[in-house]
Amino acid sequence: MSENDVVAAAKERLEASGLPSDWLDTPVHWGVKAKEQATPENGGLRFEYLNVDVYGEVPEYWENNTEIPRGAIPDTRTEQMGYSIFNKSEVWSDLCAGLYEDAIADRWNSSADIPWESLEPIGSDLERAVCQIATLMSEYGWTKAQTTGRWLQEISYGYIEVKLFLGTVVFDAARLYEVWRKRALANGGGLGRGGRNWKFLPLTQSYTFSEFCVASIMHDAMLIALLRHGEQLAQTDAERTIYELCQQDIERHLAYFVDHMRYLMLKEPIRREEIHRYLNKAEWYLAKDGDDTLYSALAVVMGDGREGAEEAMADVAELRREQVETYLGYLRQCHLGDRDDRLNEELRKWAGMVELEEEEKIPV
Amino acid sequence: MVTADKLDELQLEPEVPELDLSWLNLDTEWGVNAEPGRKGLTLQQINKTLYGDIPATSEDSSARPRGAAPPEGATPRMTPWVLGEATETFSESAGLLYDEAVSRQWSSATDIPWDTLDELPEDIERAMAQLCTSLTEVEFIAGDVPGKWLPRIAADHFESGLFLMSQVMDEARHTDVFRKRALANGGGLLLQGGGGGLRQILEAEDFTQMSSMLHILGEGFVQSLFRLGELIAHNEAEKRIFRLAAQDESRHVAFGVTHLKYTLDNQPDKAEEVHWTLDMFENTIVDPDQANPGLAGALVYLLGDGDVDEGWRLFWHVRRKQVLEYLHRLDVAGLGGRLESGRLHPALVGALDEN
Ligand SMILES: [Fe+2]
Ligand SMILES: [Fe+2]
C-alpha cells in the first residue's frame, strides 16, 4: 500500500468507530526532521534546531490569543486565554532558545553541588555579616521568581522560546532564594534583617514587559557586580561555589534582558524616552531605599570583623562604584549609552561621577 | 560637549556608604546548625527551630524570608494581596517535592535517545505528531498557571512558592519535549486541541480550586496516561519521554494531594467547595463539545497501533486506571466518597466498568 492509501484506510477505520479523523489528512508541513541535528557534538536535540520551515517563523505580530502551538492548525472554537503580549519587539531575543538549553545544561543542585562540609566556624561578627548578606540575597531571589513568573501568563505561544527561557529564570531564582537561606542556617548563624523592599517596586509594578526588563537589568547588574567579588568575599569553598554558580545563572539572565532591550531599541527607537522614564523610576527607588545593611555587612566581611569595618568602607565604596558602572555598561550594550548622562544623582555619587552642568549634558 | 575621556578625568572618589552595624545585634534565632546528609543539605535539614515554624496566618506581604527580622522604617506593600492563610496554599510536602524536583531535573536535549527514532509508517507518525501537538499545548497552560499564582504566595509559606517555581521549570521542559518530538521525525504540528478544561484551570481565582483541577484531576489523568506510555511509544526515545515526564507529573500530583489534605485537615468546611469544583471540571473534561478533535483519535490509534478496535479497548483500560487513581488520590486527600455518593460524573463511573 502507498502512504496515501495507508492514511485513507486509517481514516476509514477511525470514522467507522466514530472518532474524529481530520487530523490524519490535515495539511501539515511534513518532513521536518530535527533529529538529524541531534548529535552529541551538537549538544543533543537543542531547541534551536526546531526552528526550521514554518515552525521557525516568528511573526512580528502574533494574532492568536489561545495557547495554540506555533505552526499548528487553529481550532477556532478555542476560548481566548487572556494573553496580552502579541508584539515580537516586546519580548524577543534571538538568544532565548540557546540560553534555555544552556540553563538546563548548567543546572545545579544546592543540596549536593555545594561543598557544605567546607563550612567552618568563623567569628560571630563575620557569621552575622555573611548571614545578613545571605538574607538579602534570598529576598531578591524570591522577588525575582515572583515577578518573572507573573509575566508567563501574558506571553503567547508565538514567542515560546522566550517563555521557556523565563521558566529557567524562575527556577534559577528559586535556587538563589534557597541556597542563601541554606547558607544562613548551616553554620551556627541564622537569618539577619530583611530589606525595605522599596527598591523592588519597579519590578512588581511594571505594566509592560520591557519596563520589567530594564528594572531587572538594574537589579541583576548590581547583583552580578557583587557576585563577581565572590573570591574575595567567600569564607569557604562552599561560599565560593555559591557565588560562582549564582553568577553563572545571573549572567544568562542579563544576556537575555540586554539582548532583548537592544532588539527593542532597534525596532522601536521611539520608545527610548519612555524607557528612560522607567529607568528614572528604578534608580530613584534604589537610591531612596538606601538599604545600608548590605554595604555595612560587606564592610564587616571585607574588614574581617567589626573592628575593620570602618576601614573596609573604602573598598565597599569601590565595589558600589563598580556596581553602578556595571549597570551603565549593560545599558550601553543595549543602545542606551545616553543613560550615562541621565543617571540618578545619588547613583552618580555612588559611582564618583561628576555632576554635569545642564549645558554640558550630551544631547540625546 | 563632554567626551568620555574628559569624563574619566573628572572622575571623583565614590561616595562612601554609611556604616550601620545595628544588624549585628538582632534578636533573630541564632546558633542554628545543619549537617548535610545522604542527599546533601536539603530544605528539610535546615527547617529547624523557629525557621521551620510555618505560621497558620502570615501577615507579611513582603519578600522577607521567614524568620528574618523586619527592616527598620517604612516598607511598601509589594503586591495587591497575598494569600496569608496556610490553608490556602500550603502543603507539608512542598519542600520535599521541591528538593526532589531539583535533584531530578533532566534535559530534553541530551537525556532522550533521539537516535532511536526510526522512520515510522505515515499513519503512525501522524498520530504521534498529533498527540504531541495536543500535549505541547496542554503543557503550555500547565506552566502559565503556577506562574500566575507565584506573586500571591506569602514568603512565610515559601515551600509552596519553591514548589510552584519548580513546576514552572518542569512544564517548560514538557512543552519543549513534546514540540521536539513532533518536529523530530518528519511529522510536524497538526491540529490545535483547545478546550478540555485548560481555560477553567487558568481562570480559577481560588488556589485550592485551581490545584484540585490542575494537580489532582488534570495532571492526575496525564500522569496515569504517561505511566502507560509504553503502550503508546514506538521506540526508546518516546518511552523515555513518557517515563521522565511521568516522574515530574508525580510530584505535581503529590503537591495537589498533600495541599488538599492540609487544607481539609485544617478547614474541613472547604470540602463542599472542592466537590463543586470537581463536579464542574469532570463535566468539562468529558463534555464532547470540549473534546480535543485530535487527541482522542490519535491516542486510540496509537494505543491500537493502527487497529482501532484494539485501540478503544486499551483506551478504556487507560481511562479506568485514570479514574481509579483519581478516586484513590481524593481518598488520600480526605475527599473520598465521590463514587459512593453518586457525585462522580456518570461518564467516569462508566469507565470503571471492566467491559
Ligand atoms: Fe507537565
Ligand atoms: Fe505537570
CATH assignment at residue B175: 1.10.620.20
> pLDDT digits over A132-185, tens only?
999 999 999 999 999 999 999 999 999 999 999 999 999 999 999 999 999 999
For the ranges A50-59, A75-84, B2-11, B28-37, the lowest mean pLDDT is seen at B2-11
> pLDDT digits over A94-112, tens only?
999 999 999 999 999 999 9
In this prediction, residue B151 has a pLDDT band, given cuts at 50, 70 and 90, of very high
Please tell me the predicted confidence (pLDDT) of residue B149: 97
* pLDDT above 60 (res B7): no
> pLDDT digits over B184-241, tens only?
999 999 999 878 899 999 999 999 999 999 999 999 999 999 999 999 999 999 999 9
Residue B38: how many CB atoms within 10 A of its CB? 7
CB of A63 within 8 A of CB of A132? no
Q: What is the mean pLDDT of chain A?
A: 94
In chain B, how many domains are there? 1
The pair phi, psi for residue A90, each rounded to 5°, is -75, -25
Please tell me the predicted confidence (pLDDT) of residue A219: 98
- Percent of chain B's residues with pLDDT above 90: 85
Nearest-CB residue to B190 (from A28, A44, A104): A28
Higher-scoring residue by pLDDT: A357, B213: B213
Cα torsion angle, B245, B246, B249, B255, sign: negative
Q: Rounded distance, CA A289 to CA A139, Å?
A: 15
- The verdict on a CB contact (< 8 Å) between A196 and B71 is yes
Q: Rounded distance, CA A314 to CA B14, Å?
A: 9
* Cα angle, residue A284 at apex, residues A279 and A287 outer, rounded to 5°: 125
Q: Is residue B124 part of a domain?
A: yes
Please tell me the predicted confidence (pLDDT) of residue B288: 85
In this prediction, residue B291 has a pLDDT band, given cuts at 50, 70 and 90, of confident
Shortest distance between the Cα of A40 and any Cα of chain B, in A, equals: 8
Q: Is residue B3 part of a domain?
A: no
Q: Counting ligands in written order, which one lies closest to the CA of residue B138?
A: 1
Please tell me the predicted confidence (pLDDT) of residue A350: 96
The number of angstroms, rounded, from the C-alpha of A95 to the middle of its chain's C-alpha atoms is 13
Report the pLDDT averaged over residues B50-76: 93
* Closest to B122 in 3D by CA, of A225, A7, A130: A7
Write out the DSSP string of A7-25.
HHHHHHHHHHTT---GGGG
Write out the DSSP string of B166-232.
HHHHHHHHHHHHHHHHHHHSS----B----TTHHHHHH--SHHHHHIIIIIIIHHHHHHHHHTGGGT
The C-alpha cell 513518557 sits at B242
In this prediction, residue A364 has a pLDDT band, given cuts at 50, 70 and 90, of very low
Please tell me the predicted confidence (pLDDT) of residue B193: 82
Pairs of residues, one from chain A and one from chain B, whose beta carbons lie less than 8 Å apart:
443
Cell of B118: 526510526
Residue A357: how many CB atoms within 10 A of its CB? 8
* Cα angle, residue B321 at apex, residues B232 and B351 outer, rounded to 5°: 105
Considering only the C-alpha atoms of chain B, give the largest distance between any 2 of them, rounded to a whole number of Å: 87
* pLDDT above 70 (res A358): no
Report the pLDDT averaged over residues B267-285: 97
Q: Rounded distance, CA B19 to CA B27, Å?
A: 20
Which chain A residues are within 8 Å of B73, Cβ to Cβ?
A: 196
Residue A228: how many CB atoms within 10 A of its CB? 19
- Cα–Cα distances (Å) from B149 to B84, B101, B175, B198, B200, in that order, read 13, 19, 19, 16, 15
| Amino acid present at A359 | E
Please tell me the predicted confidence (pLDDT) of residue A292: 80
Q: Is residue B230 part of a domain?
A: yes
CB of A138 within 8 A of CB of A159? no
* pLDDT above 70 (res A363): no
Burial of A108 (0-12, 13-18, 19+ CB in 10 A): buried
The DSSP secondary-structure symbol of A210 reads: H
Q: Is residue B233 part of a domain?
A: yes
Report the pLDDT averaged over residues A318-335: 97
In this prediction, residue A291 has a pLDDT band, given cuts at 50, 70 and 90, of confident
* pLDDT above 80 (res A287): yes
> pLDDT digits over B90-140, tens only?
999 999 999 999 999 999 999 999 999 999 999 999 999 999 999 999 999
- The verdict on a CB contact (< 8 Å) between B41 and A111 is yes
* pLDDT above 60 (res B1): no
Q: In chain B, positions 270-329, which contact chain A (CB-CB < 8 Å)?
A: 293-294, 296-298, 300-301, 306, 308-309, 312
- The verdict on a CB contact (< 8 Å) between A6 and B148 is no
Instruction: Report pTM.
Output: 0.96
Cell of B310: 484494539
CB of B145 within 8 A of CB of B202? yes
Please tell me the predicted confidence (pLDDT) of residue B6: 58
Burial of B30 (0-12, 13-18, 19+ CB in 10 A): middle
Instruction: Name the residue in chain A with its Cα closest to that of B305.
Output: A10
| Amino acid present at B168 | V
CB of A133 within 8 A of CB of A294? yes
Q: Is B83 helix (H, G, I), strand (E, B) or coil?
A: strand
Nearest-CB residue to B169 (from A26, A171, A178): A171
Please tell me the predicted confidence (pLDDT) of residue A357: 64
Q: Is residue B195 part of a domain?
A: yes
Higher-scoring residue by pLDDT: B181, A40: B181
Please tell me the predicted confidence (pLDDT) of residue B318: 96
Cell of B53: 515554624
* pLDDT above 90 (res B12): no
Q: Is residue B153 part of a domain?
A: yes
Write out the DSSP string of A276-318.
HHHHHHHHHHHHHH--HHHHHHHHHHHTTSSTTHHHHHHHHHH
In this prediction, residue B49 has a pLDDT band, given cuts at 50, 70 and 90, of confident
Q: Is residue B93 part of a domain?
A: no
Please tell me the predicted confidence (pLDDT) of residue B292: 80
Q: Which of B100, B115, B157, B189 to mutate to test the interface with A (most CBs of A within 10 A)?
A: B189
* Closest to A161 in 3D by CA, of A259, A251, A81, A36: A259
CB of A203 within 8 A of CB of A143? yes
* pLDDT above 90 (res B22): yes
Which chain A residues are within 8 Å of B188, Cβ to Cβ?
A: 28-32, 55, 71
Domains and CATH numbers, chain A: 1-30 (no CATH), 88-360 (1.10.620.20)
Q: Beta B32-33 vs A187-189: how paired, if at all?
A: antiparallel
Shortest distance between the Cα of B190 and any Cα of chain A, in A, equals: 5
Q: Rounded distance, CA A33 to CA A312, Å?
A: 59
Which chain A residues are within 8 Å of B64, Cβ to Cβ?
A: 139, 194-195, 197
* pLDDT above 90 (res B145): yes
Q: Is residue B298 part of a domain?
A: yes
**Complex-level ipTM:** 0.96
- Percent of chain A's residues with pLDDT above 90: 87
Residue B176 lies in domain: 118-351
For the ranges A204-218, A254-268, B22-36, the lowest mean pLDDT is seen at B22-36
For helices A96-105 and A160-186, what crossing angle results, to 10°? 30
Please tell me the predicted confidence (pLDDT) of residue B8: 59
The C-alpha cell 517535592 sits at B97
In this prediction, residue B48 has a pLDDT band, given cuts at 50, 70 and 90, of confident
> pLDDT digits over A112-133, tens only?
999 999 999 999 999 999 999 9
CB of B114 within 8 A of CB of A46? no
Q: Counting ligands in written order, which one lies closest to the CA of residue B139?
A: 1
